[in-house]
């Protein structure tokens, strides 16, 4: 006859001694497995008389329940201990000074994009994106530049080989296709900027085949050129960190805006340095205008209900003007000495309150 008390104290001791999940599982199998000691006891119940069953049944079942509970408790303890070991091993000391970590620098273009985002976010603009490999329709046709339109020739477009249907994809020549994608995927009112890469087959000290633009688009009811002018002046003031600037609109032409204008900012060049807001020179900053009704209609919106303005601005040039680099090609040489000199710390986040260039 098995000594139940002895069996229980043996098992309890084995459970307490189990130092790992595997060891505990061994004890469980020895007690409650198919050939386990407790299981064997329970199996004997079948051959007992009804009277014996009445006394032994609760005894054996009680044993099984206590052993099961002890196994569970031990399991929880072992799991907590294992987690502690893991947490201790994976601990990261966030109090380590960042200066001891080797840091890279943010490219001035990246920096200017962050500044633009900060300035326009404050004016209620969201950031929109579009693909750099674009369809001809988004890049040209929907922007009121139909096939054979002379404006296409001005864009020095990189085309991909035509597909089976004769359609040629292209590298977007400007960020204006994001206007189309945004109007087709969002309901007005719309206020977005779209910074990103653009491509034209052009290369000299002020042109690189890949360059950066930021598009701006506002679509709402009752939008006028006055809203455009104010928005651009507010942007230029914040970007160049000057309170008083004089801007002028020069009449221009873009197929996707009517009327169209270019924005110039009053400036002065002295000793190779640019001062914005004083002097007698003019700096060309960007192209803009009221979104052409045909463009609004091409996106499925009713131009008698919705109108707005758009602008497009070269980011690389903005960076050169603000931070004093003279050769655009150096932007894309990946020369570490240049990056170290002109780059920014990633900890130095632009904020409006600190001045976005601070
Ligand atoms: N997409 C034009 C360009 O690349 C700029 C522009 C954008 C002009 C939006 C007007 C409105 O030159």
257 lines ligand 1 (CB under 6 A): yes
Give residue-wise pLDDT tens across range 247-284.
Answer: 999 999 999 999 999 999 998 887 777 788 888 889 89
Whether residues 85 and 109 fall in one domain: no
Distance CA 327, CA 342 (A): 12
179 lines ligand 1 (CB under 6 A): no
- Domain end (from 42, 59, 89): 89
The stretch 226-245 carries a mean pLDDT of 93
Does some domain include residue 354? no
Among residues 89, 113, 131, which one ends one of the domains?
Answer: 89
The DSSP string of 211-280 is EEEEEEEEEESS--HHHHHHHHHHHHHHHHT-S---EEEEEEEETTEEEEEEEEEEEEEETTEEEETSSS
Are 109 and 31 within one domain? Answer: no
Q: Rounded to the nearest whole angstrom, what is the distance from the C-alpha of residue 288 to the centroid of ligand 1?
A: 6
- Predicted local distance difference test score (pLDDT) of residue 244: 87
Give the residue, by CA position, lying nearest to ligand 1 atom 6.
Answer: 312
* Whether residues 126 and 234 fall in one domain: yes
Residue 99 is predicted with a pLDDT of 66
pLDDT band at 98 (very low <50, low <70, confident <90, very high): low
Is residue 143 a part of any domain in this protein? yes
Regarding whether 112 and 81 lie in a shared domain, the answer is no
Q: Are residues 194 and 302 in the same domain?
A: yes
Q: Please state the rounded mean pLDDT for residues 189-209.
A: 92
Please check whether residues 79 and 116 belong to one and the same domain.
no
- Give CA separation, 53 vs 41, 47, 66, in Å: 12, 9, 19
CA of 30 to the centre of ligand 1 (A): 79
Q: What is the pTM of this model?
A: 0.71
Which CATH number belongs to the domain containing residue 239 in this structure?
3.30.930.10
Q: Within a domain: residue 351? A: no
Residue 177 in contact with ligand 1 by CB distance below 6 A: no
**Pocket flag, ligand 1, residue 155 (CB < 6 Å):** no
Ligand 1 atom 9: residue of nearest CA: 311
Q: Give the β-pairing of 190-199 and 257-270.
A: unpaired
In the reported structure, the alpha carbon of residue 177 is separated from the centroid of ligand 1 by a whole-number distance in angstroms of 10
The answer to whether position 352 is within a domain reads: no
The secondary structure of residue 307, as a DSSP letter, is E
Residue 310 CB less than 6 A away from ligand 1: yes
Spatial contact of 215 and 151, defined as CB atoms under 8 Å apart: no
d(C-alpha 153, C-alpha 31), whole Å: 85
- Owning domain of residue 70: 4-89
Residue 55 shares a structural domain with residue 117:
no
Q: How far is the CA of 277 from the centre of ligand 1 (A)?
A: 24
Our CA angle for 106, 107, 108, nearest 5°, is 115
Q: Is residue 148 part of a domain?
A: yes
User: Nearest to residue 70, comparing CAs of 18, 33, 4, 2?
Assistant: 18
Is 65 within the bounds of a domain? yes
Is 96 inside any structural domain? no
Give the number of domains in the chain. Answer: 2
71, 147: one domain: no
Tokens of 272: 């190779």
Asked, for residue 357, whether it belongs to a domain, the answer is no
The preferred substitution site among 144, 157, 174 for testing ligand 1, maximizing ligand atoms within 8 Å of CB, is 174
Q: What is the mean pLDDT of the chain?
A: 91
Q: Which of 153, 176, 229 to mutate to test the pocket of ligand 1 (most atoms within 8 A of CB)?
A: 176
* Domain-terminating residue out of 89, 114, 129: 89
Residues 71 and 173 in one domain: no
Check if 176 has its Cβ closer than 6 Å to any atom of ligand 1. Answer: yes
| CB burial string 26-41: b at 16+ within 10 A, e below | ebbebbbeeebbbbeb
Tell me, what's the pLDDT at 325? 85
Whether residue 161 is found in the same domain as residue 203: yes
Residues 16 and 124 occupy one common structural domain:
no
- Tell whether 225 and 298 lie within a shared domain: yes
């Amino acid at each position: 006859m098995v000594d139940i008390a002895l069996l229980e104290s043996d098992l309890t001791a084995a459970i307490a001694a189990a130092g790992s999940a595997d060891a505990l599982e061994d004890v469980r199998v020895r007690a409650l497995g198919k050939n386990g000691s407790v299981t064997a006891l329970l199996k004997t119940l079948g051959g007992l008389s009804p009277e014996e069953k009445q006394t032994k049944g609760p005894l054996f079942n009680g044993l099984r329940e206590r052993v099961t509970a002890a196994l569970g408790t031990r399991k929880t303890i072992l799991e907590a201990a294992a987690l502690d070991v893991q947490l201790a091993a994976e601990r990261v000391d966030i109090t380590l000074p960042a200066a001891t970590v080797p840091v890279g620098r943010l490219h001035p273009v990246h920096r200017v994009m962050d500044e633009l985002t900060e300035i326009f976010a404050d004016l209620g603009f969201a950031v929109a994106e579009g693909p750099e490999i674009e369809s001809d329709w988004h890049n040209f046709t929907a922007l009121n530049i139909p096939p054979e339109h002379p404006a296409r020739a001005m864009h020095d477009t990189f085309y991909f080989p035509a597909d089976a249907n004769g359609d040629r994809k292209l590298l977007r020549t400007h960020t204006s296709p994001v206007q189309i994608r945004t109007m087709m995927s969002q309901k007005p009112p719309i206020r977005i900027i779209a910074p990103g890469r653009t491509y034209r087959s052009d290369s000299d000290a002020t042109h690189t085949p890949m360059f950066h633009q930021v598009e701006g688009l506002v679509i709402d009811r009752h939008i006028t050129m006055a809203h455009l002018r104010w928005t651009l002046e507010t942007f230029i003031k914040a970007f160049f960190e000057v309170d008083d600037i004089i801007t002028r609109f020069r009449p221009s032409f873009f197929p996707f805006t009517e009327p169209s204008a270019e924005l110039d900012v009053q400036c002065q060049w002295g000793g190779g340095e640019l001062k914005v807001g004083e002097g007698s020179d003019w700096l060309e900053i960007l192209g803009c205008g009221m979104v052409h009704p045909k463009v609004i209609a091409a996106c499925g919106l009713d131009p008698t209900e919705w109108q707005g303005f758009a602008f497009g601005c070269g980011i690389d040039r903005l960076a050169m003007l603000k931070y004093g680099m003279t050769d655009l090609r150096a932007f894309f040489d990946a020369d570490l000495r240049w990056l170290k000199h002109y780059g920014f710390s990633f900890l130095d986040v632009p904020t409006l309150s600190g001045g976005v260039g601070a």
